[in-house]
Structure 1
């Protein structure tokens, strides 16, 4: 697994290439933590992340540390398997705010 980071103003995009699992989670967390404090939005581009296990849920939904900057986190280009995992997670935990990750996606599409 590797990733690329692109920063445009206050938005960072981290594109993941490979699987997201407990072996790769620390590296991805470190990449997000290393972003400058002025980055207020983090977009995870998962087009090339064809597999994600529960570690991906931790990456996307875990609470941020109080001393870290507040960032809006969104996801783009989800492959079918990671999308299905997110959908299953909301069935088990309806309190997960899936629409927070996909702010421009009509809610009806997420309910299918």
Structure 2
């Protein structure tokens, strides 16, 4: 697994290439933590992450560090398996409100 980070103004896009699991979670957390304080929006681009286990849920839903700046987190380009995992997670724990993560996902995909 590797990733690329692109910062454009106050938005950072981290593009993940490979699986998101407990082996890769520390590296991805470190990438998000290393972003400058001026970044107020973090976009996880998962187009090339075809598999995500529960570690991905931790990555996307954990609260930011109280010492760090507040950031809006979104996800784009979800493959079918990670999307199904997010849907399943909200069925188990409805309070997750995962739709805030998916601003560019058509509602028809979320209803399946």
Structures share fold, TM-score greater than 0.5? yes
**Gap regions ≥5 residues in structure 1:** none
Give the CA RMSD over aligned residues: 1.2
Q: Secondary structure at the match of 2:43?
A: strand
Give the aligned partner of residue 83 of structure 1.
83
TM-score, normalisation: structure 2: 0.95
- In the alignment, the residues of structure 2 paired with residue 106 and residue 46 of structure 1 have an alpha-carbon distance, to the nearest angstrom, of 16
Give the aligned partner of residue 99 of structure 2.
99
CA contact (8 A) 1:20 1:52 kept: yes
Deviation beyond 3 Å, 4+ runs, structure 1: 104-109
Q: How many residues align?
A: 112
CA displacement at 1:64 relative to structure 2: 1.2
Give the aligned partner of residue 44 of structure 2.
44
Q: Deviations over 1:25-77 (max 9, x none)?
A: 00000000000000000000000001000000000001111111100000000
Matched, 1:30 2:35: no
Give the aligned partner of residue 66 of structure 1.
66
TM-score, normalisation: structure 1: 0.95
- In the alignment, the residues of structure 2 paired with residue 51 and residue 32 of structure 1 have an alpha-carbon distance, to the nearest angstrom, of 20
